Amino acid sequence: MNTPNFFNGKTILVTGAAGFIGSYLSDRLCQENPEAKIIGFDSLNDYYDPKLKQHRLENLKQHKNFTFVKGNLADKVAIEKLFAENHFNIVVNLAAQAGVRYSIDHPDAYIESNLIGFYNILEACRHHTPEHLVYASSSSVYGGNKKVPFSTDDKVDNPVSLYAATKKSNELLAHAYSKLYNIPSTGLRFFTVYGPAGRPDMAYFGFTNQLIKGETIKIFNYGHCKRDFTYIDDIVEGIIRVMTKAPEKQTGKDGLPLPPYKVYNIGNSNPENLLNFVQILQEELIRAGVLPKDYNFEAHKELVPMQPGDVPVTFADTTPLERDFGFKPHTPLREGLRKFAEWYKSYYSVQN
């Protein structure tokens, strides 16, 4: 879907622009909308290899309509200055401290980025009134939900990690600000995003790094977990479509605004068993020449119990996304992992 007429002439903020999703979104917006002004904001922290973030950023800086601002979301003065100087039409908040397991040992990072940082974004939107705030939530808000597929109508009050709790908090804060200040906001619950130049802490990337070194990969819950793997291009397509349609401002019977607030799932709606996922990954790594044809996977694979903060299954119900935007993620896992394996071979100059 190409929407040049909608975005041209607009100024768009993308926080987390050097991150995985943020860099892909910024790149596509810049390419397809030469008359739009894209401001990327990122702290470039070292949660994972900063060289990968710099690599993504260098690609973005080739676009004439892209401007990068380095800063911390938790710095209220910096955020206020950013909004005052740019008069954003659309704000896409993708900056966050990610990762479920990291939140167990590093809670401060999540409170600072995901709560204080998001509060600063909301306050800036309150005072500078963009047309639409779009922000990243996560499938982790569903916790150990037994009902599948996960619907945005489901109750999500039982997070099993601090990361999930901060993302649920984002949705609650956004709802309150939408109601109080009539700020159109849309939250997007992403389901296990993967692809080239992705996050090294995600299983497909981490497994590849370990296998290259001859290390053993741990497959949790004895391989019985299922994940709704969603390819990065599908995520970006979903975000762009949502950006074009802010929730409508309406007045209730009491004369006060009804909150212009929406939440959508963006997932592939096709959960894959982790053992199948690892099987496909190994086949594609061999095909791309990342690993030798005679690589002994059985010797480098260990089935282990479930770990704290993890959930057995994720599975997105994307019916509302299809209904409102005519879009459903569809990239098959093998196709996505093939693109990742080919990128990995090239980026790390792997020789066998």
Task: Identify the active-site residue in 47, 48, 135, 163.
Answer: 163
What distance in Å separates the CA atoms of residue 216 and residue 229, rounded to the nearest whole number? 22
Q: Is 163 considered catalytic here?
A: yes
Amino acid at 322: E
Q: What are the residues facing 11 on neighbouring strands?
A: 37
DSSP type of residue 112: I
CB 47 within 8 A of CB 98: yes
What distance in Å separates the CA atoms of residue 207 and residue 282, rounded to the nearest whole number? 9
| Coil, strand or helix at 186 | strand
Q: What strands lie across the sheet with 37-42, from one edge to the other?
A: 66-70, 37-42, 11-15, 90-93, 132-138, 185-190, 261-266
Using alpha carbons, select from 165, 177, 158 the residue that is nearest to residue 110. Answer: 165
What distance in Å separates the CA atoms of residue 190 and residue 146, rounded to the nearest whole number? 18
CB 88 within 8 A of CB 12: yes
Which residues are catalytically annotated? 163
